[in-house]
Amino acid sequence: MKKLIIIKYGELTTKKDNISFFIKTLRDNIKASLININHNIIYDKGRMFIETDNFDEVVKVLTTTFGIHEINIAYEIDPSSIEEISSYLIKLLEDKTFKSFKVVTKRSDKNYPLTSVEISKKLGGLILGSNSNLVVDVHNPELFINIEIRSKKTYIYFEKIKGLGGYPVGTLGKGMLMLSGGIDSPVAGYLALKRGIRLECVYFESPPHTSDAAKNKVLTLAKELFYYSGYLKVHVVKFTDIQEAIYKNIPHDYMITIMRRMMYLISEKLANKNNAKVIINGESVGQVASQTLTSMAVINEVIKMPVLRPLACFDKSEIITLSKKIGTYDISILPYEDCCTIFVPDHPVINPKSDVAIEYESLIDYDQLIKAAIRNVETIKISAKDADFENIL
Ligand code: ATP
Ligand code: MG
């Protein structure tokens, strides 16, 4: 009897046309994440199987991999008669403490002489015959006994471990995440990864107004996202000259509007340069002056590329709950300054006008400043120690 892991994909199976691409990407992502763990992946119609001697570590990785619906630790036996299956099963049950059980059978081998219901009934009867203390409870059993009869092999498992769902990262192409040190943007990144978007990140820093500690905080957040995504890049943009030019030349109520227009312009350029199709950020409607609908429209109009705002309609409390769940909250609340917070005016405009923004912008030579910022980008690769994710991009 061989012990192995079964992987079931959920939503993937609805993507009929490019299912093989989805599965190959999932397999490549799993392989890359398990690079330091001894394992072997086998694919067989609608299922993936992993052989390993390190079940705990493999399951840990699989529970942070998008595109997986369910994980089972299973025992594999050759296709056998009901009597043979039951003798394996009774052996496995010796270690378990339970009183009530239910057998659930899935039969994908339609040539097997009994139906799923007949198999469950027969196995149930044989288990009861082996131990008179047990009872069947179809509604609320202490133990589910799952049997899967496939054409090549039969599988027995007891536990269903929930996967993260979503699509395998990379199946939907790439996006450029505006990653700050705050609570929102890592959560926005997580949700984009969940839809299969591979991420590159852009972080705007303003040294000496912002510190290396602030930058390291953002890189630490990126590392947390790495566990869900595999390979990740962070483009660090020096924003000091642009922010100082804005501070010196532009009426302060429009400072944030113009600053964010500049961030959008740079993010779009970096996205194009790196073959990303969308920009992603952590904006949430109404959260601050730059996130009113009017502000968002006036800021958005400087670029053509679509902007995904996964948190647009989330309450802050919902975002916090999610950030705790994915493990970024404790890092996000560390008290380091951000370039947005150090130049904050007392009264930022809530309903900026597009023509006013354009007029104010012309007071600085932003074209040249943006070109210089792009020239000086520092790109940092986040990957597991010794891991080589390069070949799966
Ligand atoms: P967060 O929204 O992540 O908690 P924040 O509240 O400091 O951080 P906001 O002022 O709400 O940021 O900005 C909205 C979004 O703009 C952020 O979610 C993030 O996507 C982007 N952003 C803000 N500051 C930066 C920065 N320094 N570098 C990159 N992106 C940024
Ligand atoms: Mg925010």
Please give the distance, rounded to the nearest whole angstrom, from the Cα atom of residue 288 to the centre of ligand 2.
Answer: 7
Residue among 179, 183, 184 to mutate when testing ligand 1 (max atoms within 8 A of CB) = 184
Angle CA 267–270–274, to nearest 5: 135
What is the model's pLDDT at position 112?
86
pLDDT in tens, 18-27: 888 999 999 9
pLDDT in tens, 163-198: 999 999 999 999 999 999 999 999 999 999 999 999
pLDDT in tens, 327-339: 999 999 998 777 6
Average pLDDT over residues 299-321: 98
Q: Where are the beta strands (DSSP E) in the chain?
A: 2-8, 39-44, 47-52, 68-77, 100-107, 135-136, 143-149, 154-157, 161-165, 174-178, 198-205, 232-238, 278-280, 307-308, 378-382
Q: Is 4 helix (H, G, I), strand (E, B) or coil?
A: strand
Q: Is 361 helix (H, G, I), strand (E, B) or coil?
A: helix
Atom 2 of ligand 1, residue of closest alpha carbon: 184
Atom 8 of ligand 1, residue of closest alpha carbon: 182
What is the model's pLDDT at position 281?
98
The yes-or-no verdict on residue 258 having pLDDT over 70 is yes
Q: Is the CB of 179 under 6 A from ligand 1?
A: yes
Q: Are 153 and 3 in contact (CB under 8 A)?
A: no
Residue 337's identity, in one-letter code, is E
Sequence-ordered list of residues with C-beta below 8 angstroms from that of 383, at least 6 positions apart, any chain: 226, 230, 231, 232, 389
pLDDT in tens, 85-101: 999 999 999 989 999 99
- How far is CA 73 from each of CA 2, 4, 34, 56, rounded to the nearest angstrom? 11, 6, 17, 10
Query: 383: which 2 tokens?
Result: 């990957």
Average pLDDT over residues 4-28: 84
The yes-or-no verdict on residue 210 having pLDDT over 60 is yes
Query: Which residues are paired to 103 by β-bridges?
Result: 145
Q: Are 7 and 47 in contact (CB under 8 A)?
A: yes
Q: Is the CB of 356 under 6 A from ligand 1?
A: no
Average pLDDT over residues 10-32: 83
State the burial class of residue 26 (Cβ atoms within 10 Å of its Cβ: 0-12, 13-18, 19+). Answer: buried
Residues of the chain with CATH 3.40.50.620: 174-382
Task: Give the position of tokens 């002056």.
Answer: 289
Query: 173: which 2 tokens?
Result: 């192409």
Q: Is the CB of 254 under 6 A from ligand 1?
A: no
pLDDT in tens, 355-369: 999 999 999 999 999
CATH architecture of 2-165: 2-Layer Sandwich (3.30)
Residues of the chain with CATH 3.30.2130.30: 2-165
Atom 6 of ligand 1, residue of closest alpha carbon: 182
As a residue count, the chain comes to 393
Task: Give the position of tokens 């929102």.
Answer: 184
Query: 326: which 2 tokens?
Result: 């994915």
CA 172 to chain CA mean position, Å: 13
Please give the distance, rounded to the nearest whole angstrom, from the Cα atom of residue 197 to the centre of ligand 1.
Answer: 19
What is the model's pLDDT at position 73?
97
Atom 18 of ligand 1, residue of closest alpha carbon: 282
Pick the more confident residue, 78 or 45: 78
Residue 342 pLDDT level (bands cut at 50, 70, 90): low
What is the pLDDT of the chain when averaged over all its residues? 92
Q: Is the CB of 339 under 6 A from ligand 1?
A: yes
Cα 146 to Cα 106: distance, rounded to the nearest angstrom:
8
Cα 219 to Cα 201: distance, rounded to the nearest angstrom:
10
CATH match for 174-382 among 3.40.50.300, 3.30.70.1400, 3.40.50.920, 3.40.50.620? 3.40.50.620
Cα 56 to Cα 93: distance, rounded to the nearest angstrom:
21
Q: Is the CB of 288 under 6 A from ligand 1?
A: yes
Q: Considering only CA atoms, give the Rg of the chain.
A: 27
Please give the distance, rounded to the nearest whole angstrom, from the Cα atom of residue 293 to the centre of ligand 2.
Answer: 15
